[in-house]
Structure 1
Amino acid sequence: MSSPASYQRELILPLLEGIHESPPWGGLLRQLVARTYARRAYLIIRLANAGKDQDPSAVHVAAPRAAMDPPLDYRKIAALNLHPYGPLRPLRVYALDEMLDYDHPDRLESQRAALQEMGVHYARFLRVSAGGAADAWIVLVRERDDFSAAAVVTLSAIAPHLTAGLKTLARLIELRLQVALAQSALQRLGIGQMAFDETGRVMAADAHAGALLSFVPEPEPVPGRRLALMPAISQALENTCAAIASGRADSVPLPLDAHGGLWLLLRKADLDLEQPCAVPVAVGVLRTYKREDAAKARQAMAMIYGLSRNEASLAHQLSLGETILEAGRHLRLTPQTSRSYSKRIYAKTGASSQADLVRLILSGLAPLS
Structure 2
Amino acid sequence: MAITRPDETDLLLPLHDGAHEQAPFTLFLQRLKRRVRADQAVLAVRAGQGEWRWLDSRIAPPPDQDHLTALRAHRVYAEEEGGYARLIRVDEPGGAAAVLVIRRAQSDFSAADGALLARLAPHLAIALRTRAALDHAATTASVVERAVSAGRIAWASFGADGRPLARSEVFAARGGSFGPIAADVAACVAERRPMVVSLRPKEAAAMLLIPLDLPRTPLATAPVALGLMALNAGPGDDAQPALLAALFGLTGSEARLAAAIAAGATLSDAATQLDLTIETTRNYSKRLFAKTRTRGQVDLVRLIGASPARFALGPFTPPAESEEGGSRPE
Q: TM-score, normalised by structure 2?
A: 0.76
Q: 1:84 aligned to 55, 67, 80, which one? A: 67
Contact 1:36 1:151 in 2 (8 A): yes
SS in 1 for 2:70: coil
Structure 2 gap ranges (5+):
314-330
Structure 1 gap ranges (5+):
61-70, 101-114, 116-120, 215-227
Identity value in percent: 28
Q: 2:56 aligned to 42, 56, 59, which one? A: 59
Matched, 1:180 2:142: yes
Change beyond 3 A, Cα 1:290–1:296: closer
Equivalent residue pairs, number: 308
Contact 2:84 2:109 in 1 (8 A): yes
Letter in 1 for 2:140: Q
Q: CA deviation at 1:82?
A: 9.8
Contact 1:32 1:155 in 2 (8 A): no
For the residues of structure 2 that align with 1:207 and 1:325, how far apart are their CA atoms? 34
SS in 2 for 1:289: coil
Aligned match of 1:75: 61
Letter in 2 for 1:282: A
Change beyond 3 A, Cα 1:297–1:149: same
For the residues of structure 1 that align with 2:281 and 2:162, how far apart are their CA atoms? 54
- Give the alignment of 1:115-264 within 5 angstroms: 115=82, 121-131=83-93, 133-211=95-173, 233-234=179-180, 237-245=181-189, 247-248=190-191, 250-264=193-207
Change beyond 3 A, Cα 1:240–1:325: closer
Q: CA deviation at 1:297?
A: 2.9
Q: CA deviation at 1:5?
A: 4.4
Contact 1:324 1:338 in 2 (8 A): no
Matched, 1:13 2:10: no
Q: CA deviation at 1:151?
A: 1.4
Letter in 2 for 1:137: V
For the residues of structure 1 that align with 2:167 and 2:285, how far apart are their CA atoms? 46
Change beyond 3 A, Cα 1:248–1:319: closer
For the residues of structure 2 that align with 1:24 and 1:280, how far apart are their CA atoms? 29
For the residues of structure 1 that align with 2:283 and 2:201, how far apart are their CA atoms? 46
SS in 2 for 1:86: helix
